[in-house]
Amino acid sequence: MSHVDLGDLGLDRGGHLLIKQALSTVPVGGVVQVIGRHPALPVHLPAWCRAQGHEVVEVGPGGGRVRRGAAEVGRWAGAERAGGPAPDGLVARAPATWGLAARGALVEAGGPTFDYPLDRREQVWADDAPRLYTQAAAAQWDPATAIPWDAAVDLPAEVEAAVTQVMTYLIENEVAALQVPARFLAKVHPHFREVLQVLAVQVADEARHIEVFTRRALLRGPALGLSTVGGQASLKTLVDEPDFALASFLLSVMGEGTFVSLLKFIADHAPDPVTAAVARLSGQDEARHVAFGLAHLRREVDHDPALRGRLAAAVERRHSALQHTAGLNAEVHDALVLLAAGAWTPEAIGRGHDRVVALVGEMDQGRRHRLKMLGFTEGEAAALSSLHTRNFM
């Protein structure tokens, strides 16, 4: 029989920890001898044992004997394990009573319920989520050191104005790309913690993009460029979308996927190293966002093929809502032409225009490819891609 000597230590000052440790070394039904000199021990020992589901075999002024009870007895009666800590421990639907408990924890019965609308695995999960979070966490970059802010940037006024306009356009689009995942963060059940982590890093990525685009826009001037009604209307349809699957599809698969091409274009034709760096690094982040959106939507479509029809309807609905808007800011289009031209000759401007046309075609091909990854036919993908907003995002 195991025993523990509390000396003068009472249960009110931590003595119960020594008893718990001793009980953990004996099997259920095993007995631990408890001795001690604290005057309240004969009262505190039985009370503590009742609360913990253990049995006091005998008690006296100098202590007593305690028989270990089963784990499901006492306070933890009705407790349940919240799945397993690893991804293979996920459940199909996480109960509201698990609340904020860590996945794999033993959850005491009788706790509060939490309202998490996104509580089903098929709504949010992607098998790549753990890998994408690890990759995203490792790939975080510091705007203060990753961008060569002290590099020489001495551009003609018209070129600097073009860069400022493009950066202004990128800022408002990245604000929308930040707000969409932020809206859903608090709606995802914590049981799917890797999804929470991916979305949280995505929000942090967009915040960093907004910072560097703003800093580049103001690097050589006091004011930003233009924001149009058409651009704002396009982004509002993203911010207002209440369905997680549809919002993820419109933002990540259609919009951010298109932006990956745009940012690569800006990096390739940047007139200075600062512009090139902010576009290149931001594009790397956006590619991860697209990967997660595709991964979880592919899983959801496999589980519910009817989702494909809802995704198509979302594109058509958005196109209908925006068909009377101007689309891409004309100043942004002209700025992209100028950046791609690299010079003010008719031949260069013509080349710049052709490169922007080629960019639009590349964006279309990218959207078609991602749509086919979700199970759309070639014809369906082409039709849906053609309906994507002219504002790119």
DSSP secondary structure string for all residues of 91-155: -SB--GGGTTPPTT-EEPTT------SB-BHHHH--TTHHHHHHHHHHT---HHHHS-TTS----
- What Å distances lie between residue 10 and 1, 52, 95, 229, CA to CA? 22, 17, 39, 72
How confident is the model over 139-197, as pLDDT tens digits? 999 999 999 999 999 999 999 999 999 999 999 999 999 999 999 999 999 999 999 99
Reference 99, options 195, 199, 190, 200; nearest CA is 190
Q: What percent of the chain shows pLDDT beyond 70?
A: 99
* DSSP code string of 9-69: --GGGTHHHHHHHHHTTS-TT-EEEEE---TTHHHHHHHHHHHHT-EEEEEETTEEEEEPP
Coil/strand/helix, residue 2: strand
- Per-residue pLDDT at 137 exceeds 90: yes
> Which of 300-314, 318-332, 343-357 has the weakest average pLDDT?
318-332
What is the per-residue pLDDT for 51? 85
β-strands 31-35, 2-5 pairing: parallel
Mean pLDDT on 257-283: 98
Spatial separation of the C-alpha atoms in residues 184 and 151, rounded to whole Å: 39
Within 10 Å of residue 384's Cβ, how many Cβ atoms?
A: 21
**Cβ-contact 254, 319 below 8 angstroms:** no
**Cβ-contact 290, 363 below 8 angstroms:** no
- Per-residue pLDDT at 72 exceeds 50: no
What is the per-residue pLDDT for 149? 97
- For 14, counting Cβ atoms within 10 Å of its Cβ (0-12 exposed, 13-18 middle, 19+ buried), the class is exposed
Torsion (CA) 257, 262, 267, 271 in degrees, nearest 10: -170
Half-sphere exposure of 296 (CA within 13 A, CB side): 28
Q: How confident is the model at residue 226 (pLDDT cuts 50, 70, 90)?
A: very high
Residues 6+ positions from 8 with CB-CB distance below 8 Å: 36, 37, 38
Within 10 Å of residue 302's Cβ, how many Cβ atoms?
A: 12
- Per-residue pLDDT at 56 exceeds 90: yes
Q: How confident is the model at residue 71 (pLDDT cuts 50, 70, 90)?
A: low
What is the per-residue pLDDT for 312? 98
Query: What pTM does this model have?
Result: 0.88
**Cβ-contact 255, 393 below 8 angstroms:** yes
> Which of 46-55, 240-249, 297-306 has the weakest average pLDDT?
46-55
Q: What percent of the chain shows pLDDT beyond 90?
A: 92
Domains along the chain? 2-67 (3.30.110.40), 78-107 (no CATH), 121-386 (1.10.620.20)
Total residue length of the chain: 393
